[in-house]
Chain A
Amino acid sequence: MSATGAYLPAGLPRPVPEPDGLDAPYWDATRRGELRVQRCRACDTWQWGPEWICHRCLGFTLDWTAVEPRGVIYSWERSWHPVHPALRGHGPYVVVLVELPHAGGIRMVGNLLGDPMQTVEIGADVEAVFEPHDDATPPFTLVQWRTT
């Protein structure tokens, strides 16, 4: 945990919405502490990552639906090698892939908060933790996870 309260040190690439606006509603929602993902208005299919069209019914009307910010660990990795200058000297950290069974089984990437050497179990229940980066330009909020 860094001095700013973020899981990883400052200096990693900052997320910015795509120029065409596709994923802006997701990033806007995270600033309010909401997890919103795509759901097709016509056929109710959940969709993540974002796309302009529903992969099931091929409709172009996709809502940004709030989902309960919890899930289960689908897979994970503990990263050791510093692949970015901001990570030099930081030590290991855990990335998780979290499945949201209540949202069609979509998956989200985040960090698993807590001891980086903790035992990580596929299938474990996790809940989202919103990690604001208010001083960034532009400000953004990451969706992190912790076991429950």
Chain B
Amino acid sequence: MRTSPTVRGRVAIAGIGETTYYKHGRAPESEVALALRAILAACADAGIDPRTIDGFASYSNDRNDPSRLAAALGLPELRFSNMQWGGGGGGGSAAVGNAAAAIAAGYADCVVVFRALAQGQFQRFGAAPPAATASGEAALTFPYGLISPAQRFAMRVMRFMHDHGIRPEAQRAIALASYHHAQSNERAVMHGRPLTAEAYDASRFIVEPFRLFDCCMENDGAAALILVDAERARDLRTRPAYLLGVAQGSEYRNGARGHNAPTYASASFTTVAPRLYEMAGLGPKDIQVVQSYENFTGGVLMSLVEHDFFAAEEANEFLTPENLIAPNGRLPLNTSGGNLAECYMHGLELQLEAVRQLRGESPNQVPGVRAAMVISGPMVTPVSSMILGSEAAL
């Protein structure tokens, strides 16, 4: 295994943990305390002493820096600290990949991937920053009332739906599947709050083509994953979720300012997804369940197309609630409720759910999962995605 040019099969997720997921602004304690609780929960799940941790990886400029966490936890030594550049949820899978690379390269032995958000204590994503002026890229959009993430991405989705004749019902199916799954997940913020097609259709537009239920929640909480070498993971108490593949990035000039990305009507995965499959040695037909970051349902739609689960022209027929709901759908999607209905833990809750599916512990378990995909952060740059597998998939 040590001669492998990639990290495929060499690192595993051995522990997962999260805090209670709270509505936005309702966390009863500080964001850093939430981060620490999630990390301790992940250690308990893995059955390891927290003092075993020697590295941290996160994304989206998480405010809780590794040196503070290492001091707070009394770690004997900090060996790896890593922040994946880029905003939104695009770094969720990349952070796992970065942590795994550190372990495979020998920089560290036990790396935590974490994300903590208590936005009531800081600035929300979906509201304008308080600045009176805008410069740089913001000067090209903010004065025109194009400020929030929903507004930033709506035109990408509008163009994609226009190009391929995709109907609003395709986005609706993604929202309905997430809410359906949340009803059997007691962790979910929207547990006990089912969504019907009628309620979706009656909901207000945030920015066309996104209605209220096409948009993620904003929540408070924290989540964490423990990564260790695959051999070591086999000796721990949980069933290892092996990293089979991970890729990050974006296509040619995706970051061109002022909405000038050449491949504009895209979730940014057109070059990332082929690399993911190549590393994993798998194709879309080998994936039994998908967790796909929903900032907005239209981004999920494009992400699934770009990961080759169906062609854009097939979106209307493929994206139905029946096809997306566990256990019997063709492609069970966001089986915890995800960002729409479980918790907006900036997508890290999706990584935890992928691990649960591989362990057979999901509240919406898909039978016989050998490979589970996580897609992180559509429409931002860089994005990332990963495939986790069971022992049988190695």
Q: Which residues of A contact B (CB under 8 A)?
A: 8, 12-19, 23, 27, 48-51, 55, 74-81, 83-85, 87, 92-93, 95, 97, 106-111, 122, 140, 142
Contacts and interface: CB of A to CB of B under 8 A. Distances in A.
A50 B257 contact: yes
B259 A107 contact: yes
Contact of B260 (A17, A85, A106, A142): A106
B145 interface: yes
Contacts of B138: 13
A92 to B, nearest CB: 8
Contacts of A12: 142-143, 145, 147
A94 B146 CA distance: 10
16 contacts: A8-B143, A12-B147, A13-B143, A15-B139, A15-B142, A15-B143, A16-B135, A27-B139, A75-B159, A77-B207, A79-B151, A81-B150, A93-B145, A97-B159, A111-B144, A140-B143
Interface of B: 126-128, 131-148, 150-151, 154-156, 158-159, 162, 204-209, 253, 256-260, 264-265
Given A110-B144, A111-B144, A76 B155 contact: yes
A97 B258 CA distance: 9
Given A84-B127, A84-B128, A95-B144, 4 more contacts: A17-B135, A48-B258, A78-B207, A83-B147
Contact of B128 (A18, A23, A75, A83): A83
B147 A77 contact: no
Given A49-B137, A81-B206, A107 B145 contact: no
Given A55-B253, A109-B146, A80 B128 contact: no
B144 A74 contact: no
Contacts of B158: 75-77, 122
A18 B126 contact: no
A85 B208 CA distance: 20
Contact of B159 (A50, A85, A122): A122
Given A49-B256, A77-B207, A83-B147, A18 B141 contact: no
Contact of A84 (B147, B154, B209): B147
Contacts of A75: 155-156, 158-159, 162, 264-265
Contacts of B148: 81, 83
Contacts of B205: 78, 80-81, 92
Given A50-B257, A80-B205, A14 B140 contact: no
A83 to B, nearest CB: 4
B207 A23 contact: no
B145 A109 contact: no
A107 B260 contact: yes
A52 to B, nearest CB: 12
B128 A122 contact: no
Nearest to A8: B145
B132 A87 contact: no
A102 B138 CA distance: 25
Nearest to B262: A105
